[in-house]
Copies of this chain bind each other. A is one copy, B any other.
Amino acid sequence: MQSHTSFPIKNINTHLTEIKDYFKVAVSVDCVIFGFDGSVLKVLLIKSDLAQYKNKWSLLGDIVRPDEELDAAAYRVLRERTGLENVYMEQVHTFGALNRHPAGRVITVAYYSLVNIHHVQLRVSDFGLHWHAVKDIKQMAFDHKQILDTCVKRLQDRIIEHPVGFNLLPKKFSLRELQNLYEAVLGVKFDRRNFRKKFLSMGLIEDLHEVENDVRHRPAKLYKFNEKAMWKNTRFLNVNSID
């Protein structure tokens, strides 16, 4: 079982005092910016103009500056592209395949963030920047499809355990909107009445005693997210059967 190989052993944490010989790699961040339009989970992409990825879509990313924290770089990319600050963001995974970027060794730290899609106004100079339905995306530039898939999976894991989905909704929302969101993210169907019961019984949403308008049917009550109920230890959704 033991086979001691690959000597000599080095350990950066004990032996490294000079790193200039190792300056052979660039680090970037890539942001998977999720939005929800009421029925479909979307992601903000930009059209790549690199020759080898002409007309392919890519994530929003940038090189991490030498004096910049990783999270700060991700927030900067988000801010520059959407104008938004203080949005939910989470580091997901770091991708470092040798030939993932044609310009050289670029190791990228992937983040996803959840924004209110209606708060994002794309500027004229943002030509080539568009919201795409996540489930319709088949291929992307670089390894970005893999990064997207990883972030979608992380979002699914997270939204089951923790009520992060509210970041994708307006402040006032109906139960139908909330359920649509969860069904879109998780790719499942819930029973409407049990879904309502679950969220109400956990105190996660609060009745605003208002109703929606401009709908073609009986208007639904509006609710807001109750932040006090956010930090609970219990899982708040059960998703054992996916269909």
- A positions within 8 Å CB-CB of B: 1-7, 9-20, 22-28, 30, 46-50, 58-64, 66-70, 76-77, 79-85, 91, 93-98, 101, 103-107, 109, 119-121, 123, 125, 128, 141-142, 144, 233-235, 240-242
Instruction: State which of B1, B76, B106, B109 has its C-beta within 8 Å of the C-beta of A119.
Output: B1
* 7 CB < 8 A contacts A-B: A3-B83, A12-B28, A12-B101, A13-B61, A16-B106, A25-B64, A107-B107
Number of identical monomers bound together in the oligomeric complex: 2
Residues of B within 8 A of A50 (CB): 13-14, 17
The distance in angstroms between the C-alpha atoms of A23 and B6, with both chains bound, is 27
Residues of B within 8 A of A26 (CB): 19, 22-23, 25
The answer to whether A2 and B242 have CB atoms under 8 Å apart is no
Q: Which residue of B lies closest to A233 (CB)?
A: B240
Residues of B within 8 A of A120 (CB): 2
Residues of B within 8 A of A6 (CB): 76, 79-80
> Can you name 18 extra interface pairs (CB under 8 A) apart from A17-B103, A70-B96?
A2-B121, A9-B81, A10-B62, A11-B62, A12-B61, A12-B106, A13-B60, A13-B61, A15-B49, A16-B63, A17-B50, A22-B63, A23-B26, A64-B107, A91-B93, A94-B94, A94-B109, A107-B107
The answer to whether A12 and B94 have CB atoms under 8 Å apart is no
Residues of B within 8 A of A98 (CB): 67-69
Given contacts A14-B50, A46-B13, contact A66 B24 (CB under 8 A): yes
Q: Which residue of B lies closest to A93 (CB)?
A: B91
Shortest C-beta distance, A165 to chain B (Å), equals 19
Instruction: State which of B9, B15, B83, B103 has its C-beta within 8 Å of the C-beta of A2.
Output: B83
